Amino acid sequence: MTASHRAFMRARSVIAGGVNSPVRAFKGVGGEPIFMQRGEGAYLFDVDGRRYIDYVGAWGPLVLGHADPDVTRAVADAAARGLAFGTPTEAETELALEVRALMPGLEKLRFVSSGTEATMTALRLARAVTGRDKVIKFEGGYHGHPDSLLVKAGSGALTLGVPTSPGVPAALAAHTLVARFNDPDSVGALFDRHGHEIAAVIVEPVAGNMNCVPPVAGFHEHLRALCDQYGALLIFDEVMTGFRVAPGGAQALLGIRPDLTTLGKIIGGGLPVGAVGGPAALMDQLLPDGPVFQAGTNSGNPVAMAAGLATLKKLKAPGFYETLSQRATDLTTGLSQAAARHGLAYATNAVGGMFGLFFAEGPVRYYEDVMGADVDRFRSFFHGLLGLGVYLAPSAYEAGFVSAAHTQADIKATVAAAEQVFSRLAGP
Ligand SMILES: *Cc1c(COP(=O)(O)O)cnc(C)c1O
**241 touches ligand 1 (CB under 6 Å):** no
Is 223 in the same domain as 134?
A: yes
Closest of 117, 181, 90, 88 to residue 368, by C-alpha: 181
Q: pLDDT confidence of 170, banded at 50, 70, 90?
A: confident
- The answer to whether residue 157 scores a pLDDT higher than 50 is no
Is 198 in the same domain as 257?
A: yes
Q: How far apart are CA 287 and CA 361, in angstroms?
A: 50
Classify 78 as helix, strand or coil.
helix
Is 406 in the same domain as 344?
A: yes
**327 touches ligand 1 (CB under 6 Å):** no
Classify 160 as helix, strand or coil.
strand
Classify 310 as helix, strand or coil.
helix
Q: pLDDT confidence of 160, banded at 50, 70, 90?
A: low
For the CA of 274, the nearest atom of ligand 1: 7
For the CA of 119, the nearest atom of ligand 1: 10
- Going across the sheet that includes 134-138, the strands are 108-112, 274-278, 260-263, 233-237, 198-203, 134-138, 176-179
C-alpha 376 to ligand 1 mean position (Å)? 26
C-alpha 115 to ligand 1 mean position (Å)? 4
Average pLDDT over residues 330-335: 98
**119 touches ligand 1 (CB under 6 Å):** yes
Is 364 in the same domain as 235?
A: no
The number of folded domains in the chain is 2
C-alpha 344 to ligand 1 mean position (Å)? 32
**239 touches ligand 1 (CB under 6 Å):** yes
- The answer to whether residue 155 scores a pLDDT higher than 90 is no
Q: What is the pLDDT of residue 114?
A: 98
C-alpha 272 to ligand 1 mean position (Å)? 11
Is 171 in the same domain as 207?
A: yes
What pLDDT digit, counting tens, does each position of 290-319 carry?
999 999 999 999 999 999 999 999 999 999
Is 9 in the same domain as 31?
A: yes
Residues of the domain holding 280: 69-314
Q: What is the pLDDT of residue 161?
A: 63
Q: b/e for 402-414, b at 16 or more Cβ within 10 A?
A: bbbbbeeebbeeb
DSSP state string for 243-303? TTTBTTHHHHHHT---SEEEE-GGGGBTBS-EEEEE-HHHHTTBTTTSSB----TTTT-HH
Q: Whose CA is nearest to atom 5 of ligand 1?
A: 115
DSSP state string for 32-49? -PPPEEEEEBTEEEETTS
Average pLDDT over residues 248-276: 98
Q: pLDDT confidence of 267, banded at 50, 70, 90?
A: very high
Last residue of a domain, which of 314, 333, 367? 314
What pLDDT digit, counting tens, does each position of 105-128 carry?
999 999 999 999 999 999 999 999
Q: How many CA atoms lie within 13 A of 59 on its CB side?
A: 18
Is 412 in the same domain as 368?
A: yes
Is 235 in the same domain as 146?
A: yes
For the CA of 241, the nearest atom of ligand 1: 13
Q: How many CA atoms lie within 13 A of 137 on its CB side?
A: 29
pTM of the model: 0.97
- The answer to whether residue 16 scores a pLDDT higher than 50 is yes
For the CA of 115, the nearest atom of ligand 1: 5
- The answer to whether residue 215 scores a pLDDT higher than 70 is yes
Is 140 in the same domain as 208?
A: yes
What pLDDT digit, counting tens, does each position of 240-261 carry?
999 999 999 999 999 999 999 9
Is 46 in the same domain as 166?
A: no
What pLDDT digit, counting tens, does each position of 217-241 carry?
999 999 999 999 999 999 999 999 9
With a pLDDT cut of 70, the percent of the chain lying above it is 98
**244 touches ligand 1 (CB under 6 Å):** no
CATH code of 268's domain: 3.40.640.10
Average pLDDT over residues 19-34: 95
Catalytic residues: 142, 237, 265
Q: pLDDT confidence of 150, banded at 50, 70, 90?
A: confident
Q: What is the pLDDT of residue 153?
A: 42
Is 143 in the same domain as 282?
A: yes
